[in-house]
Amino acid sequence: MLIQTKFLGEVEIKESEIITFEQGLPGFLDYQKFIILPLDADLPLALFQSIDESTIGFVIAFPFAFKSDYAFDLSDEEKEDLQIEKEEEVLTYSIVTLQEIFTDSTMNLLAPIVINTTKKLGKQIILQDSKSYPLRFQIQQSLGSAK
């Protein structure tokens, strides 16, 4: 299947790799089908792309690569929405806002994207716990320390 992407132009994807966000994303409720495309094998970054709208694409990162102590709990409702049975089937990403100088870029730790890799279901969670992670965590803070 061929799709148009925001950053990579036309790419071929497998339908089995499509992740369904049954509730859409905050601000993009009408778009429920996304795919994760690698950007560079040497970087913990990927493209999170709507398969239905080429202009809806985000750079995402594996947050633990930049903040090793990043942690949160999913509510029972979130686990049910994502049909999570085992912790091993959960993958977490954060949306990155890229700047011209990479170390000035930020990532959203307050609203991670959580994916059930087995069921291909996803949801963007807005954290409500007491750790109060920032909406704009500066990547520069983490380079060299991974904290």
Average pLDDT over residues 116-134: 88
Q: Is residue 22 part of a domain?
A: yes
Q: Is residue 65 part of a domain?
A: yes
Q: Is residue 106 part of a domain?
A: yes
pLDDT over 90, % of the chain: 75
State yes or no: pLDDT of 100 exceeds 90: no
Label residue 131 by pLDDT band (50, 70, 90): low
What pLDDT does residue 142 have?
58
Q: For residue 90, what are the domain limits?
A: 2-142
Cβ-based neighbour number of residue 36 at 10 Å:
18
Q: Is residue 103 part of a domain?
A: yes
Residue 19 near residue 36, CB atoms below 8 Å: yes
Lowest mean pLDDT among 9-23, 28-42, 47-61: 28-42
What pLDDT does residue 75 have?
93
| pLDDT digit string, tens, across residues 66-76 | 999 999 999 99
On average, the pLDDT of the chain sits at 90
User: The domain spanning residue 134 has which CATH number?
Assistant: 2.30.290.10
State yes or no: pLDDT of 19 exceeds 90: yes
Q: Is residue 147 part of a domain?
A: no
Average pLDDT over residues 17-44: 92
Q: For the stretch 58-93, what's the b/e string if a residue is b when 16 or more beta carbons lie within 10 angstroms of its beta carbon? A: bbbbbbebbbeebeeebeeeeeebbebeeeeeeebb
Q: Is residue 6 part of a domain?
A: yes
Label residue 147 by pLDDT band (50, 70, 90): very low
What pLDDT does residue 146 have?
43
Q: How many domains does the chain have?
A: 1
Label residue 9 by pLDDT band (50, 70, 90): very high
Distance between CA 39 and CA 28 in Å, rounded? 23
Label residue 128 by pLDDT band (50, 70, 90): confident
Q: Is residue 105 part of a domain?
A: yes
